[in-house]
Amino acid sequence: LLPRAEAVFNDYQNKKKSGPCLDGTRVALLREMANWVIGPEESRMYILSGLAGIGKSTVAYTIASRAADLNLLGASFFLSRNEADRNNAKRLFTTIAYQLCVYDETFAKAIGDVLLTERGSAATTKDPQEQLQVLILDPLRSIIQSRARPILVVVDALDECDEDDISVVVEGLSQLIRDLPLFKVILTTRPQPYLHDFLGNEGGCHKLFHLQDIEDKIVDGDIRLYLKHNLSLEMVRRCFRRRQWCASDEQIDALVRAAGRLFIIASTAVRYILDKSAANPAAQMQELLRACGEEYTPFTDLDHFYNIILRNVVPANCANQNIVSRYQLVVGAIVFVSRPLPISTLAHLIDMDVEDIHAVVEKLQSVILLGDDEVPRIYHKSFPDYLTDQARCKDPCLRIDAKISHVQIATCCFEITNKHLKYNILGLGNPARFMSNEDGLKKDAITDVQLQEKIPPQLRYASVYWVNHFEVANIEGTELMNGLEKFVDEHTLHWFEVLSLIGNLDSAHCAIRAKSTSSDLHQLLSDALRFISKFYELIKRSALHTYYSALPFSPTSSLLYRRYIKDARHYIRGIEGGPKNWDALVAILSHGEGVDAIKFSPESALFISCSEETEDEYASIHNQGKLKIWDATTGTPISTIPGRRVAFTNDFSTVVSSSDNTITYHNMDGSTRGTMITTSSMIQKLELSESCRVAAALSDGTVWLWDIELWETSPTKRRISSHQCDGSISAVGFGPDGRLFASGLYDGRIKLWNAGDGSSHGALIASGGCRALALSGSVLVAAGQDGVTLWSLDTLSLIHPLKKIGAGAYTVSISDDSDLVAFGFDDASVHLFDVMNRTTIATFTVFHRIHKLTFLPDKSQLMAQTYTGDFQSLNLINNCITNGPMLEHLIQLPDTPLWRGVPIWYCWDDAQHYVAALFSPHQTPVPVLWIPCDIIVTAQTEGSSMLALGCNDGCIILLRLPTSHLG
């Protein structure tokens, strides 16, 4: 039930790359860290920072191993840039939760109980913050209160995490130790500017140690001990039984000087000297010492050292271009593939013989690991850093050009897909081809081995990751673009089929956005994006219904339909009266909890969905609160920002979120800017102006104002001002230019503030109370339980009080030009007010209580977002209401098989319309064609071989049924 990565400290691959510190090394540091784990120190996170190759992972492994022996290790997670499950935060907390279940039976019971709930099972696929809260913090909070023994979590190599997730990891671990004080965390990383900003706001909860600060003589002594042990006669004879060689003291001293405090050089030197393919440690030592200079800084040492290793493959001044090309192709592929691949798969991706790849890798086994699984893995992340840096790797024959490597891989990806992709790639028969993927494979007894044969590893990789290489390549070379055009023109639907079968359909959205100069190709990609967005749930569930249900209901004028319908194999002979063009519905998306607000960016490229923390004890619903930023073209999520309260600028470039009494400042991609502000009490309202001002209303009745620009300076300069109010604040709001903001109490007392310096700008009384506020350039509006009130901001004089016009106003919106004001009332009515004429000009009744009202810029429509997550468009010209899409699946597909020349007829169930057939092995009809939910059927009739469906928009759809078996 818990998705997890193989990231525990003693997993096989981790063990191969890292092991414990050699006895006698890092003694003082390990003693200090061990005492910290079991000691009473206030700090509960120990951050070990150090340069690349200095030995951080070895220290982390040692501490984790020793803690495990003492039953203190609750969990560990060793990040790795080259592993898809270990280079981001997606499975960090689910993996930790799984290990905690293994660690303690009581923990396992508590977490297991949560997983049996709808919220718990759903959390496994949510964002990391939700996983942490639901799977760890909530179930363990009451359990650990009665315990005293510390529980250690070790997280290694933060710098190998995806850049966007670094803040997620740090803040999540910080929340873990704040909410569950029994936990302690050890985190290792390269120096991170973000950490220094973050730690500046965290008080004494974190301890930071720089590994490079250890005295030179201590580090040199540890490296000398390590080299003497690993190059001793005993260790050499383990590799070469007949060799009687060991390193001399002079040779050890030379290697210590060359290592320059970096353990990675020492360990790589050992691997080089004991290289089994060379089988001559004495000669390898002489070659290494001959090449090593003695006057290098530590950083230059590493570069020079890698240069020496690479000369085994590409000699200096190499004139043989074949040798250089082979090296760059092989090493470039190993460095840039999106996940580590076996040599047999790499051979397809770079179109090279397996033997040629082995010839390169076997000469680089001191920097590229090659295990029994035949998967080459980079030994240390500093190696690809060196290879791709023009300033450091000065020899163009050794340097790896990222764009060239990505072009080569992307081109081969298209060759693979264009060769292998085809309709019904698994050869499923009737009725398995019409069942869900899982049931279809089971029906036709397709084993895992057969699945691997029909969808080989190179096709899986190419189908999922081609876009990663195509986007980085950014070169419209003829061969590359020809491959893309053939792929899109002939195999788009086959590609969807394979992605569905291998469980990676979610990668289709971003891949389709690849750019092209061909107008036909651009149109096909545009159609494909609409197609996969609209029919995603259907195709994800049953791959072959891409052709059977999705394509027939695609617009007949679309290039995608015209290009592929002739090749589609489906049992409906024809569908007439279906859509001709794509309708307005792009996609139906899941926010994950009740949506309180939806808003587009000014250029409509993005939109946000927002929910604030709510709890319904009767319905057992607890929404944590979050904001999601979406790509408005594709409907794909860009970022998720957690928080009980959230506020954002109009262009979404800046987001602030609050949790309890803490405010965090975010970028659009979800990353934080290293700043957290702590307030004196619970934050109840949060607003952000366009001029970088943040206002917060607190539960103690104070209003605080900050200047974001000053958040990076000392804490005393961040807050502009704070003001005490006599009562609980019900609403805050900024003016459109950010110069003013207002705060209001439920009893109707309103204060205006200067957003520049926080000084008072005036006070007002709303006779109807104040539940919501809105400001335009010239008007202030307050909505309350007993009516609404309008003032002029220029004179602070009353424009008009509107009392007792509804059952209680609770939301308000004002047009940009201040001419119109809209109010939402408890009885689900919306009143439109003309400010100039001081009259109500329209009243609408909607289906659900409205949370947010938003005017379109031209005032032609008013968008109403409801608490149920739906929205409606109120046409202010024709006074009509248009329903928007509901937040539910567009298409649902049951686990049922299909037909073989059997009777077919029309059915419907729970408002889902479909065509059904009765098969001889079954007692009841089963669905064979699903009609999209947005086609609302109001009438139907059957003929001898035809169905006619009447729709609520006046359209009639004709389904021509087969008179013979179509296969």
Tens digits of per-residue pLDDT, 566-575? 766 554 555 6
* 764's tokens: 């007002």
Report for 121-130, 177-186, 598-607, 733-742: range of highest mean pLDDT: 177-186
**Statement: residue 843 has pLDDT above 60:** yes
What's the whole-number average pLDDT of the chain?
A: 79
**Statement: residue 885 has pLDDT above 60:** no
Peptide bond into 431 cis (omega under 30): yes
pLDDT computed for residue 516 by the predictor: 56
* 503's tokens: 């469980």
Largest separation between any pair of C-alpha atoms in the chain? 103
Tokens 């006074």 appear where? Answer: 879
Phi then psi dihedrals of residue 567, to 5 deg: -100, -5
Residue 254 forms beta bridges with which residues? none
* 549's tokens: 């249900």
Q: How confident is the model at residue 361 (pLDDT cuts 50, 70, 90)?
A: very high
Crossing angle (nearest 10°) for helices 343-350 and 457-473: 50
* Mean pLDDT confidence for 608-629: 67
Secondary structure class of 202 (helix, strand, coil):
coil
Sign of CA dihedral 709, 714, 717, 718: positive
Q: By C-alpha distance, which of 91, 297, 73, 282 is closest to 185?
A: 73
pLDDT tens, position by position, 8-26: 988 855 655 667 888 888 8
Q: By C-alpha distance, which of 508, 488, 513, 484 is closest to 496?
A: 508
Give the span between the Cα atoms of 862 and 254, in whole angstroms. Answer: 77
* 681's tokens: 């009490």
Q: Specify whether the CB–CB gap between 605 and 632 falls below 8 A.
A: yes
**Statement: residue 186 has pLDDT above 80:** yes
Question: Half-sphere exposure of residue 691, counting CA atoms within 13 Å on the CB side?
Answer: 13
Report for 60-74, 712-726, 927-941: range of highest mean pLDDT: 60-74
pLDDT computed for residue 932 by the predictor: 73
Peptide bond into 925 cis (omega under 30): no
Q: How confident is the model at residue 619 (pLDDT cuts 50, 70, 90)?
A: very low
Q: By C-alpha distance, which of 541, 546, 568, 375 is closest to 461?
A: 375
Give the span between the Cα atoms of 103 and 154, in whole angstroms. Answer: 14
CB atoms within 10 A of CB 638: 15
Non-local CB neighbours of 964 within 8 Å, separated by 6+ positions: 901
Q: How confident is the model at residue 115 (pLDDT cuts 50, 70, 90)?
A: very high
What is the per-residue burial (b if ≥16 Cβ within 10 Å, else e) of 153-171?
bbbbbbbbbeeebbbbbbb
CB atoms within 10 A of CB 305: 28
Q: By C-alpha distance, which of 914, 869, 868, 907 is closest to 892?
A: 914
Q: How confident is the model at residue 450 (pLDDT cuts 50, 70, 90)?
A: very high
Sign of CA dihedral 398, 401, 406, 411: negative
Q: Specify whether the CB–CB gap between 754 and 787 falls below 8 A.
A: no
- For the ranges 326-330, 674-678, 719-723, the lowest mean pLDDT is seen at 719-723
Give the span between the Cα atoms of 668 and 630, in whole angstroms. Answer: 10
Give the span between the Cα atoms of 465 and 229, in whole angstroms. Answer: 43
pLDDT computed for residue 137 by the predictor: 94
pLDDT computed for residue 299 by the predictor: 42
Give the span between the Cα atoms of 198 and 675, in whole angstroms. Answer: 6
**Statement: residue 605 has pLDDT above 80:** no
- For the ranges 158-172, 376-390, 394-408, 870-884, the lowest mean pLDDT is seen at 870-884
Q: Specify whether the CB–CB gap between 744 and 727 falls below 8 A.
A: no
Q: How confident is the model at residue 676 (pLDDT cuts 50, 70, 90)?
A: low
Q: Specify whether the CB–CB gap between 352 and 415 falls below 8 A.
A: no
pLDDT computed for residue 409 by the predictor: 95
Percent residues over pLDDT 90 in the chain = 25
pLDDT computed for residue 887 by the predictor: 29
Higher pLDDT, 925 or 746: 746
pLDDT computed for residue 964 by the predictor: 39
CA distances (Å), origin 253, targets 133, 247, 285, 303, 768: 52, 10, 13, 20, 85
Give the span between the Cα atoms of 61 and 70, in whole angstroms. Answer: 14
Q: Specify whether the CB–CB gap between 23 and 70 falls below 8 A.
A: no
Please tell me the pTM assigned to this model: 0.56
pLDDT computed for residue 686 by the predictor: 78
* 814's tokens: 């004002």
Tokens 């060759």 appear where? Answer: 415
- Tell me what percent of the chain is helix, strand and coil, each rounded to the nearest 5: 35, 25, 40
Higher pLDDT, 892 or 99: 99
Give the span between the Cα atoms of 7 and 153, in whole angstroms. Answer: 12
Residue 843 forms beta bridges with which residues? 831
Higher pLDDT, 536 or 962: 536
Phi then psi dihedrals of residue 442, to 5 deg: -65, -40
Higher pLDDT, 228 or 191: 228
Give the span between the Cα atoms of 521 and 288, in whole angstroms. Answer: 54
**Statement: residue 862 has pLDDT above 60:** yes
Non-local CB neighbours of 237 within 8 Å, separated by 6+ positions: 243, 244
* Mean pLDDT confidence for 781-809: 79
* 428's tokens: 């499923």
pLDDT computed for residue 135 by the predictor: 95
CB atoms within 10 A of CB 354: 14
**Statement: residue 951 has pLDDT above 50:** yes
* 933's tokens: 């939910």
pLDDT computed for residue 693 by the predictor: 74
pLDDT tens, position by position, 322-345: 999 999 999 999 999 998 999 999
Q: How confident is the model at residue 275 (pLDDT cuts 50, 70, 90)?
A: confident
pLDDT computed for residue 860 by the predictor: 80
**Statement: residue 504 has pLDDT above 60:** yes
Q: Specify whether the CB–CB gap between 643 and 659 falls below 8 A.
A: yes
Q: Specify whether the CB–CB gap between 462 and 339 falls below 8 A.
A: no
